[in-house]
Amino acid sequence: MDQSVITSYNEAKKLYAAHGIDVDAVLDKLAEVKVSLHCWQGDDVRGFLFRDKELSGGIAVTGSYPGRARTPRELRDDLEKALSLIPGKHRVNLHAIYADTDEKVDLDELEPRHFQKWVDWAKEQGLALDFNPTYFSHPKAEDGFTLSHPDEEIRRFWIRHGKASRRIAEHFGRELGQTCYTNFWMPDGYKDAPVDRLAPRQRLADSLDEIFEEQIDERYNIDGVESKLFGIGSESYVVGSHEFYLGYGLTRGKAITLDAGHFHPTEVISNKLSSVLLFGKQLILHVSRPVRWDSDHVVTMDDELLEIARELVRGDLLPRTSLGLDFFDGSINHLAAWIIGTRNTIKALLRAMLEPVDKLRQIERDGDFTSRLALTEEFKSYPFGAVWDYYCAKQNVPVREEWLSEVKNHERDVLLKREGGAKETVNS
């Protein structure tokens, strides 16, 4: 390891030790944290089942950066490369449309075997898998409704898809020996103000109840439900609102999924974690970054990311939280997006773990808000960067921005060679 990395680390350690923080112990704890990398950043949310289908569901990818993965093999290669530049052991989050099969199979007919290649790969790589049924980019989702559809036949199709998805997830959990988190998000909603807000919500609740009827061992699969405030084309009403899923999840024992980009612009999820986990068992996080209408920018080291990390650490919520990412940026290198977002998420947790929480808690209980503000502000410039560099070196991944040249080389040697094929599909 580079001597200067070690020297800076030792200096930093002394400063933290003065506040009773054992940095080596913090790094052991940090190494336990797994982030679920969302496969859909690798190919602009296209998937492999319906390659010609436009992305729908009120979500959008902008940008046409070259080199997105066009096959499951390419996507796995890219994930491997990205994961090799991120410290720690992590998870991969799949969507149903990423099935790896030559069969022509519809969403309601999917079976575990259509994902066996993903499972074999995950085993070989020592990764866990998470799962999502796909309630968009499909002819039966074109009018914006799925599980709350008024047409019984369409609604039943989507119920079958939900059931099939849970069986796939159970298979992941069983095969990989790590619980799979299955996240249910559907875009259902109206562009304009509805007359009847209740009936679609009643149908959604009924559909979900039916999907969850089958008992699945929670060692293998845990289901979560994700709300949203609005989407493109569902500006006035989303069936699965926050209140809907908070009520649904808590009464049905399901995990609540909070996406950082799914709330009012001044509303933050960091302030919700302690309440949700006070009453609920499990949380799934979609760490994302909202920018105006778009909820899906690459995660940066902003105040909200830091606050989410602090909440998870201070409240000891990590053991009950599945920490995943959810953004899709088609305007930059697809691997870099994963790497930046994941490294930032881990780095934010490190920063949170390097705060003298017990001392700060005591100061707050004593009512000394002057010291609380003074110390939390001073800690913002404590040398966490030296600890982060050491952690990366210790985990055998590039220190600081060294990873960028590896990504650039990979782009030149691998991604740009895909360009012809990628363009063809983009234009089709």
Residues 25 and 6: their CA atoms lie apart, in Å, by 16
Catalytic pick among 114, 228, 242, 334 = 228
326 is catalytic: yes
Q: Do the beta carbons of residue 187 and residue 230 sit within 8 Å?
A: no
Kindly tell me which of 59 and 273 has the beta carbon lying closer to ligand RNT. Answer: 59
Residue of 397, 337, 384 whose CA lies nearest to 88: 397
| DSSP strand pairing (221-226 vs 35-38) | unpaired
259 binds ligand RNT (CB under 6 A): yes
Q: Would you count residue 286 as binding ligand RNT (CB under 6 A)?
A: yes
Joined together, the tokens standing for residue 120 give 């074999």
Among candidate residues 177, 176, 173, 105, the one with its CA nearest the CA of residue 134? 105
Residue 228 interacts with which of Zn ion, ligand RNT, none, CB < 5 to 8 Å by class: ligand RNT
Which residue of the set 74, 175, 294, 304 is catalytic? 294
Q: Spot the catalytic one: 34, 262, 334, 347.
A: 262
Q: Which is nearer to ligand RNT, 223 or 326 (CB)?
A: 326
Does 59 help bind ligand RNT (rule: CB under 6 A)?
yes
Residue with smaller CB distance to ligand RNT, 259 or 411 = 259
Check 130, 326, 355, 389 and give the catalytic one: 326
List the single partner that 59 binds among Zn ion, ligand RNT, none, CB under 5 to 8 Å by kind. Answer: ligand RNT
The three-state secondary structure class of 53 is coil
- Which residue from 74, 175, 226, 411 is in contact with ligand RNT, where contact means CB under 6 A? 226
How many residues of this chain bind ligand RNT (CB under 6 A)? Answer: 10
Strands 35-38 and 321-325: parallel
Q: Which does 132 bind (CB under 5 to 8 A by kind): Zn ion, ligand RNT, none?
A: ligand RNT
Q: Decide if 106 is catalytic.
A: no
Answer whether 55's CB lies under 8 Å from 137's CB.
yes
**Residue 161 in contact with ligand RNT, rule: CB under 6 A:** no
Number of alpha carbons in the 13 Å side-chain half-sphere of residue 193: 1
Q: Which residue, 308 or 397, is less far from ligand RNT as judged by CB?
A: 308
Nearer to Zn ion, 121 or 328 (CB): 328
Does the annotation count 192 as an active-site position? no
Which position has the token pair 């309601």? 108
Nearest to 326 by CA among 371, 259, 389, 233: 259
Burial grade of 378 (CB within 10 A; 0-12, 13-18, 19 or more)? exposed
CB 20 to ligand RNT: min, Å: 39
Phi, then psi, of 284 in degrees rounded to 5: -115, 130
Q: Is 138 in the site for ligand RNT (CB under 6 A)?
A: no
Is-catalytic flag, 140? no
Catalytic site includes residue 149: no
Q: What φ, ψ does residue 283 adopt, rounded to 5°?
A: -130, 140
Closest-CB residue for ligand RNT? 185
Neighbours of 328 (CB within 10 A): 24
Q: Is 228 a catalytic residue?
A: yes
Helix segments in 100-256, DSSP class H = 116-125, 152-176, 198-211, 242-252
> Which parts of this chain interact with Zn ion (CB under 5 A)?
259, 286, 326
CB of 231 to ligand RNT, least distance (A): 6
In the set 175, 311, 326, 355, which binds ligand RNT (CB under 6 A)? 326
Q: Please give the structure tokens belonging to residue 372.
A: 């609380």
Tokens for 203? Answer: 């149908």
Residues that are catalytic: 185, 226, 228, 259, 262, 286, 294, 296, 326
Q: Which residues bind ligand RNT (CB under 6 A)?
A: 40, 45, 59, 132, 185, 226, 228, 259, 286, 326
